[in-house]
Each structure stands twice: as C-alpha cells, then as structure tokens.
Amino acid sequence: MQKVKVICNPSSGRQIMQKKVDFLCNSLINEGYIVGKFNTKGKNDAMYETIKTCDEDWDIIVVSGGDGTVKEVAKGITKSKRKIPVAILSSGTVNDFANYMKFPKDIEGFVKMIKDGNTIDVDLGKVNDEFFINVAASGLLTDIGYRVSPDVKAIFGKMAYYMEGLKEIPKSKFRPIRVKFDSEEYRGEENILLFLVSNTASIGGFRKAAPDADVSDGLLDVIIIKKSEVQDIAQIFLSIFRGDHVNHPNVVYFKTKNIRVEALEDEDITIDIDGEYGGKLPGNYEVLPKAFKIIVPKEK
C-alpha cells in the first residue's frame, strides 16, 4: 500500500483550491493509498517538509501550489538521499511549469496519472545557492511576482501580474541596465532591458517565451532583450505569443549549461526566481541535469 504526502500552499490560488486538495486526498484514500497532508505557513516550509518526507517511508509527494512552492519541493529533493517522485497539482496564480508539462487539472485525471506511475527525470536550474524549476530573471518588470500581494493574487489571478506591470512601466521609463555575460556560447557587455534564464518554454504565462526549451535536455535557455525603442519593445512582446521574438535583432537567444551575469556601473539588480525574490547580481547560473523525478501523464 503506497503512501502519498500532499504538501499544500494554502495561500496559493483561490480558496476553491483547498476544497480541490481535500477532494484529491479523499479520492486517493478511496483508491487505497495512505495519505498525509501538510500545509505550508512560510518560506522554506515546503522544502523542509520534503526533506522530512524523503527521510521517512513515503512513496510519492503531491505538491499543490505555484512555481515557487514547486521550486521549494524540488530544492528539498536535491538535498535528500532518496529521490521520491513528485506529482504537481497546479493551484498558484502563474503555474508556468505545470502548464508547460500539461498536467491534468481535474482530480479524476490527476489520480489516474498517479496510479499509472509514469515518471520522467527533469532538469533544475541553479543560480548562486538558489534553485529554480522554471525561470530566473532580472530587469524590466521581473520583480512583479513578489511585489503583488497574496490577497490581490487570490482575487485577480494572473491578471494581477499584468495590472502591476502596467502600473510600473511609466515609472521605470524602460531604463536599460548594463550587464556582462560570460558563457561558452555568448560573451560581452550589453545595455539590456531584461534577461531570462529558463528551464521551460513557458514564462510568465507566455507559452512560447523560450520556444526551443526542453526540461530534459541538460541545458538552460537564455533570452536577452537589448535596449530598445518603445515601438521595438511593443513588437517584441507581441511576437512572444508566436515565439517569433527570438528572431528580432534586439533579442539574443541561446542554450547553455552555465553562464555568469554581472551588473556593471554599480547597478543594484535583483534576481527573480520562479516569482520570488532571489538575491542580487552577480549570478552564476547552471543546470542540474535530471535532478528531479516527476509523475507525468502516460502519453508523455
């Protein structure tokens, strides 16, 4: 009889998600699983509970939350000797990783996925001492994820990010930042608006932001948007929906195993990691190949 630990972020998503998690727990019990539930209360709770779960005799972890909660579980897995598989039930405002992987959102399909037990090993990203499941970013609008309050996220969902972004654009006036990139594939100093280091194709709700990304290729995808005029910025962001932005002359796109990014001219540049504050530049970004085992639908 398999044991499933459900790690849930109760502040992630709308309140209806808590009923959905309870329904999932009851469904798993009816299928013969032993189920335990843990609600997070603060930062790193999910990570510590994951480490504890891996040290005990649990067989599966189900994580319910946004990308930040999933990232904490992934971090806990990397710190544990026993790498038990993880099933991801998306319930946050932006679930880029879950959307990219196309996990079932209905409980019946989700329970079937767990019963089928089909797993794959996926890569994780790391910047300095922090891990990311989806993306690490710096520059224009990249701090929106942790500036929007949980209450606003719960009420407005994904629109909260875009609302906050529209408010911030006039203040920032698209001021470029000067940074230095150092990787085997790309070196140089650039005046940029933002850069993204991604593990998946989906970033901030844009499903084709890194169109060639693959979570199991042992590489990270880097997107650099150089200093641009307003009309160029509009063109770049509109073309993101099609994935054509990578062909714009002001966009640099490449894959790498590791890259170092430094801020020049004494710039104080923060790093956003899966929608949460992740320190400041300089940043050493690297991929951890096949570091995280997840349960996926059979067709994958």
Contact (Cβ atoms closer than 8 angstroms) between residue 275 and residue 128: no
> What burial class does residue 211 get, using C-beta atoms within 10 Å of its C-beta: 0-12 exposed, 13-18 middle, 19+ buried?
middle
Active site residue 265: no
Burial call 166-204: b when 16+ CB within 10 Å, e when fewer: eeeeeeeeeebbebebebeeeeeebebbbbbbbbbbbbb
Query: Quick count: other Cβ atoms within 10 Å of Cβ 81?
Result: 7
The DSSP symbol for 1 reads -
Which candidate, 76, 75, 73, places its Cα nearest to that of 87? 73
C-alpha to C-alpha distances, 149 to 40, 111, 146, 154, 164, nearest whole angstrom: 17, 32, 7, 9, 10
Count CA atoms within 13 Å of residue 251 on its CB side. Answer: 22
Catalytic residue of the set 190, 276, 286, 299: 276
Distance, CA of 255 to CA of 145 (rounded, Å) = 25
C-alpha 80/C-alpha 164 separation (Å) is 37
Cα separation, 16 vs 46, in Å, equals 21
- Cα torsion for 126, 280, 174, 132, to the nearest 10°? 20
CB atoms within 10 A of CB 9: 24
What is the rounded CA–CA span in Å between residue 9 and residue 107? 17
Cite the active site residues.
276
